[in-house]
Amino acid sequence: MYLNFLKRLRTSAAIFPLNDSNLHILKTFDKIGRKPAATAMERSLLSRFFVLSNTSPLFTSSMTSGVNLSKYLKSTGQFRQRNFRCLCTVSASEPATPDTSPISVKKRIVSGVQPTGSIHLGNYLGAIKNWIALQNTYETLFFIVDLHAITLPYDTQQLSKATRDTAALYLACGVDTSKASVFVQSHVRAHVELMWLLSSATPIGWLNRMIQFKEKSRKAGDENVGVALLTYPVLMASDILLYQSDFVPVGEDQKQHLELTRELAERVNYLFGGRKWKKLGGRGGAIFKVPEPLIPPAGARVMSLTDGFSKMSKSAPSDQSRINLLDPKDVLANKIKRCKTDSFPGLITGKTKQEVAEECQDMNWGTFKNVLTDALVDHLHPIQVRYEEIMSDPAYVDNVLAEGASKASAIADITLNDVYQAMGFLRR
């Protein structure tokens, strides 16, 4: 260990601050190094000194004038015996007080919602409402996944408007741009580039087993199904892996897609990472971080108002099957009267299911639906008011999206360049 440490000193450009404590460690280190057999405690001390030399913030790369460490060790005879040359210095200009400030790196989360149709209660309770809490704890990137919106036939005249409307709803619901980056998926070109690179490493069998592809293609018919619907999960993987995400908030229906993302990350890391990447001039190791699912404890799957076996969906033909966040009070009340009742009050008011059950246990269905309507109106009204305020200034929304895309691109470009390098491309 002693021999390896001296080799590390020879090849490092570390600066070791000079103070009484550190000189004491050096002298003790010197004594242990001379002994033919050190005690367990001495070996432990030597080991700890070796670890600190690799991890301590006291070792910096700046070159300052100071006491030459090689002269100190040479005076002990160690360098003459080992025939080593130390190229590091001991700084005399650094303060003796160590930096004890904690270093906290937030975990990163990415998530998004399609701009097709209206944002409904299922999107809100299953995703957006949870974002508001997550943005206080994590580094968050929330985007409008407009590229996913074209996997099935869509209205080209409405896509741009729906994209801006969705961004405004993000903000109206409480997404704070000082804590989260909000942007449009297609505004960061790296999403599509990485998708193509990932496609080359994705076995077709992995895509054929996706349940959502089977369900949607059966409903739409073969003539209306493009290749994009099949490769949709690869784009989703690109969305996640591009930002080296630690966690991804997903509903139960998206867990399979996230599993494919995880498998694809591991496959690419195996095929192109590690020593293979290092030989090409890269840093080596894993190219992608393998993300973990973050499934909300409640509200992850809000069911249709007209079909208790299907989730609330934008693509459902009947608007009566969903509660849109911008539905007026009278429209909302009419939908609730006709719906198959679910436990919205607890999710909306913050009460537990037990509290809702106790409050409503003696109510008939008519009374209960009135309570449910009032709870929804009270919760959604401030969101609707804030939405109208935001939409009255389109330039503000566009600026938010431009700033968000700029921040996202800065992260995405690093990952994309790493992938190009690891896969052997000639870069300009």
Record the tokens describing residue 220, joined without a space.
Answer: 């739409």
Confirm whether 27 is a catalytic residue.
no
**What would the two tokens of residue 191 be?**
């999403």
Indicate if 311 belongs to the active site. yes
* CA gap 117, 356 in Å, rounded: 31
What SS3 state is found at 372?
helix
Residues in CB range of 370: below 8 A, 6 or more apart: none
Strands of 119-246, DSSP E: 139-144, 180-184
Report d(CA 90, CA 68) in Å as an integer: 6
Q: Rounding to the nearest 10 degrees, give the CA dihedral for residues 327, 328, 332, 333.
A: 180
- The widest CA-to-CA distance across the chain, in whole angstroms, is 93
- Side-chain-side CA neighbours of 410 within 13 Å: the count stands at 7
Residue 294: enclosing H or E segment and its boundaries? strand 292-294
Angle 271-275-281 from CA coordinates, rounded to 5°: 105
Residue of 216, 255, 276, 351 marked catalytic = 216
The residue type found at 154 is: Y
Tokens matching residue 210: 């996706």
**Side chain identity at residue 223, one-letter code:** E
Q: CA 310, 313, 318, 324 torsion: positive or negative?
A: positive
How do 89-91 and 66-68 pair as beta strands?
Answer: antiparallel
| Contact call for residues 88 and 69 (beta carbons, < 8 A) | yes
* Residue 276 CA: distances (Å) to CA of 23, 269, 272: 42, 10, 6
Q: Where are the alpha helices (DSSP H) in 273-340?
A: 274-279, 329-338
Q: Is residue 151 within 8 Å of 224, Cβ to Cβ?
A: no
How far is C-alpha 37 from the geometric centre of its chain's CA atoms? 50
Pairing of strands 292-294, 247-249: parallel
Establish whether 216 is a catalytic residue: yes
Reported residue count of the chain is 428
Active-site annotation, residues: 216, 311, 314
